[in-house]
Amino acid sequence: MKKRKICPYLFIAPAFMILIVVIVYPIINMIYQSFFSSIAGQDKFVGFRNYKLALSDELFWIALKNNLKLFLCVPLLTAISLVIAAILYNKIWGWRIYRSFIFVPYILAIPVVGIVFSYLLQYNGVINMLLIRIGLPGLASDWLGDPKLAFPSVAAVIIWKQFGFGVVLFLARMMSIDQALYESADVDGATWMQKFVSITIPQTKSIIEFYVIITLIEMLSWVFNFVYVLTSGGPGNKTTVLEYLIYKKSFGGGDFNIAMAISVMLLLMAGVLVVIHQSILKKED
Amino acid sequence: MGRKKKRNIAAEISMILLLLIIIFPLYFMAANSLKTHEEYVVNMTGLPREFTVQNYVEAFQGKPFGQWIWNSFFLTVAATLVTAAAALLCGYAFAKMEFKGKNFLFQCIIPLMSVPPVAMIIPQFRLIKVMGLVNTRASVILIYVGIMLPMTIYLMRNFMKTVPDSLIDAARIDGCSSLKALFKIMIPLCIPAVITSSLVNIVWVWNELLISLVFLQKESLRTLMVGITLFKGRFTLNIPVIMAGLVIATVPIVLVYIFAQKYLIEGMLAGSVKE
């Protein structure tokens, strides 16, 4: 019978060995290194010095503020996706085709999307050309180079690429709503808006919660590529996010122990969201 | 809100506008990849007046485009296969076997899905150096597999849970060991789950930028995504050639989407914690 007991562990061993090497050990090493400083090739324990240095760096706060500003995309993405899903749910003519196209940006590579948009948004790019053509030359701007506009422009590209996911997610849930609910509301003479607010939203509530949390995690942990390709954090750090700051401190000749301290803080923030995510998943089970 | 088929003009117009916003950047990329640079300067938004495939020829001639495509293809296939194999075994154990610490270990996997890759890169790099794998495909495959595993295990386990135990018990009575039960009964039943999760993984690896950028510094090992990002710098003046490169990088993913839309969407919705 001993074989029986070892067997499950043999099954999970390859996956866990890889996870330990690729994720678990690096996290432990990151936490460890965040308390050390590399002086002449020797690791020296410095307590919270790296954290203090990180927190006293103005760039850290700029990057954190930008991540928090990106959180504002979440309600926007949720609202846009919900409304589009609700429109498609009415089975308007050709809704399957719309759904197919709406998902396309989500599967495209961020470098591809980023490069295309950088040509659309540059000063002598297409967006400005169209603005001039329709008689609004005053609105033409350097969308990614202007300190005021760079951040909203990056956010708009993120929304363009990501919204399709929410639409398809919400639409899938709406399709499983009991039709009898709508039929009885129809009998009562409810309007589209009334049905949307009192049936569709409550019925999709749990999936909306789930979506909000994973999108918040994305805005914190998975936006590096957008920033790297579109603006490299500029102009004047207006679009620097925590991930990009870690990258710059790690590879730009900066102090990588400080980068590790910032990484730990980013991980803690993501951790809070993960705990909320987990509790929602458990509720679903 | 009923699901009646009635034409709603306002809704249709807004959807068509939305469709234009989605399609325009893609149209811009495709149309301009077929123009000469001279035409692009004077005609950015129109269809090409004279179609030319010269940009595609140039992309392949001057630059190691074919090499980049091969590198991306190799990494995508290898990482996806290794992930599927490890996740199948692991998912089977979590779904169908009893062992100490099972729930705890499974609970540990889910949070790993949301660790920011940027944060782990330096420790990973040091580890890869110790292992003597700097600038090798193996290093990147290992990291890709590690990043994809949590979601893939999660999907496989959930799918295998839906396979009735009676099927496996029948195999056990016949004297099959667990491994045989897995190969004879679970794998055939799991093909949809394998396809679904692998499609998500294929798209992710093909589109990945950061890890290949950092770990594959050798020109001959560069992936397509890193290539086109650098490409932009080298060909800044010839935008149609850049657009041709982007089209080449996008076509495989669009083909996957066209032929396997249902599975791909299903997989992305089911394991939706990462890009």
- ipTM for the predicted complex comes to 0.90
Query: Cβ distance A153 to A144 under 8 Å?
Result: yes
Can you list the domains of chain B with their CATH numbers?
9-54 (no CATH), 65-270 (1.10.3720.10)
3-state secondary structure of A239: coil
What Rg do the C-alpha atoms of chain A give, in angstroms? 24
Answer whether residue B183 shows pLDDT above 90: no
Determine whether A282 is exposed, middle or buried from the number of CB atoms within 10 Å of its CB (0-12, 13-18, 19+): exposed
Residue, of B7 and B94, whose pLDDT is higher? B94
Q: Is A183 an 8 Å CB contact of chain B?
A: yes
Q: Which residue has the higher pLDDT, A250 or B272?
A: A250
Question: Does A123 touch chain B if contact means CB atoms closer than 8 Å?
Answer: no
Pure H helices in B102-164: 102-109, 117-130, 137-161
CA distance A172 to A166: 10
Q: Do B1 and A11 touch (CB under 8 A)?
A: no
Q: Nearest Cα to A207, choosing from A130, A136, A283, A111? A: A283
Look-up: residue for tokens 């919900």?
A: A82
Q: Which structural domain range is residue A226 located in?
A: 46-284
Would the pLDDT of B272 be above 70? no
Residue of A27, A92, A218 with shortest CB distance to B11: A92
B102 touching A, CB under 8 A? yes
pLDDT computed for residue B171 by the predictor:
64
pLDDT at B186 over 80: no
Q: Residue A206 pLDDT more than 50?
A: yes
Minimum-distance CB partner of A243 among B14, B118, B250: B118
Q: Which residue of B has its CA nearest to A259?
A: B119
- In the prediction, which pLDDT does A104 show? 96
Average pLDDT over residues B255-273: 85
Q: How many Å lie between the alpha carbon of B99 and the closest alpha carbon of chain A? A: 7
Task: Say if A111 is an interface residue toward chain B (CB within 8 Å).
Answer: yes
In a domain, A185, yes or no: yes
Most confident of A178-192, B48-62, B68-82, B259-273: B68-82
Distance CA B141, CA A70 (A): 31
Between B28, B89, B120, which is nearest A27 by CB? B120
Residue A219: is its pLDDT beyond 50?
Answer: yes
- Structure confidence at residue B273 (pLDDT): 43
Report the 10 Å Cβ neighbour count for B66: 12
Whether chain B has a CB inside 8 Å of the CB on A160: the answer is: yes
φ, ψ of residue B85 to 5 degrees: the values are: -65, -50
Q: Of the candidates A91, A160, A274, which has its C-beta nearest B3's C-beta?
A: A91
Residues in chain A: 285
Measure in Å the smallest separation between the Cα of B35 and chain A Cα atoms.
Answer: 15
Instruction: Establish if A33 belongs to a structural domain.
Output: no
Question: B234: pLDDT confidence band, cut at 50, 70 and 90?
Answer: low
Domain-located, residue A64: yes
Q: φ, ψ for residue A28 (rounded to 5)?
A: -60, -45
The alpha carbon of residue A83 and the mean position of all alpha carbons in its chain are separated, in whole angstroms, by 20
Q: Per-residue pLDDT averaged across B201-229, rounded? A: 93
Query: Which residues of chain A make contact with B207, given a CB cutoff of 8 A?
Result: 108-111
The answer to the question of residue A8 being in a domain is no
By the CB < 8 Å criterion, does A186 face chain B?
A: yes
Q: Which residue has the higher pLDDT, B20 or A253?
A: B20
Confidence of residue A88 (pLDDT cuts 50, 70, 90): very high
What residues 202-221 of chain A have any CB closer than 8 A to a CB of chain B? 214, 217-218, 220-221
Please indicate, yes or no, if residue A149 is contained in any of the structural domains.
yes
> Which of left, alpha, beta for A57 (phi over 0: left; psi -120 to 50: alpha)?
beta
| Overall domain count for chain A | 1
CB contact under 8 A, B149 and A18: yes
CB contact under 8 A, B1 and A111: no
Range A196-213 average pLDDT: 90
Interface test with A, best of B33, B75, B118 (most A CBs within 10 A): B118
In a domain, A222, yes or no: yes
Closest B-chain CA to A228: B210
DSSP A126-171: HHHHHHHHTT-GGG---TTTSTTTHHHHHHHHHHHHHHHHHHHHHH
pLDDT digit string (tens) for A1-53?
Answer: 445 578 889 989 999 999 999 999 999 999 999 999 987 778 889 999 999 99
Whether residue B116 is preceded by a cis peptide bond, meaning omega within 30 degrees of 0, is no
Comparing alpha-carbon positions, the chain B residue that sits nearest to A166 is: B269
pLDDT band with cut points at 50, 70 and 90 for residue B169: confident
The most confident of the ranges A13-22, A86-95, A168-177 is A13-22
Over 70: is that where the pLDDT of A145 sits? yes
Among A200, A205, A214, which residue's Cα sits nearest to residue A165? A214
Q: Which of B93, B107, B249 sits opposite A11 (nearest CB)?
A: B93
Q: CB of B205 within 8 A of CB of B80? A: yes
Q: What is the dihedral of CA A249, B227, A101, B84, to 10 degrees?
A: -80
Q: Which two tokens mark B237?
A: 């003046």
Which residues in chain A have Cβ-Cβ distances shorter than 8 Å to B145?
Answer: 18, 22
pLDDT given at position B178? 66
Answer whether residue A53 is part of any domain.
yes
pLDDT at A2: 47
Residues in chain A closer than 8 A to B8 (CB atoms) = 90, 92
Tokens of B229: 């990002």
- DSSP-assigned letter for residue B112: G
Residue A38 lies in a domain: no
Q: Is B264 on the interface with A (CB under 8 A)?
A: yes
| Residue B19 touches partner A, C-beta closer than 8 Å | yes
Calculate mean pLDDT across residues B214-239. 84
| DSSP 8-state code for residue A39 | E
Task: Tell me the three state secondary structure of residue A59.
Answer: helix
Q: What is the pLDDT of residue B201?
A: 95
Please state, rounded to an integer, the average pLDDT across all residues of chain A. Answer: 90
Question: What is the structure's pLDDT at A1?
Answer: 44
Least confident of B14-28, B40-54, B142-156, B212-226: B40-54
| Contacts for B197 with CB less than 8 Å, ≥ 6 apart | B83, B84, B87, B151, B152, B155, B156, B267, B271
**Touching check for B205 and chain A: CB below 8 Å?**
no
Answer left, alpha or beta for residue B103, where phi above 0 means left and psi between -120 and 50 means alpha: alpha
Q: B59: distance to nearest CA of chain A, Å?
A: 15
CA–CA dist B71, B81 (Å, integer): 16
Please answer yes or no on whether B28 and A119 come within 8 Å at the CB atom.
Answer: yes
The amino acid present at A84, given as its one-letter code, is I
The end-to-end CA distance of chain A, in Å, is: 33
pLDDT at A229: 92
Residue A232: Cβ within 10 Å count: 13
The reply to whether residue B273 touches residue A214, judged by beta carbons under 8 angstroms, is: yes
Chain-centroid distance of CA A169 in Å reads: 16
How far apart CA A211 and CA A73 sit, in angstroms, is: 13
CATH of the domain at A91: 1.10.3720.10
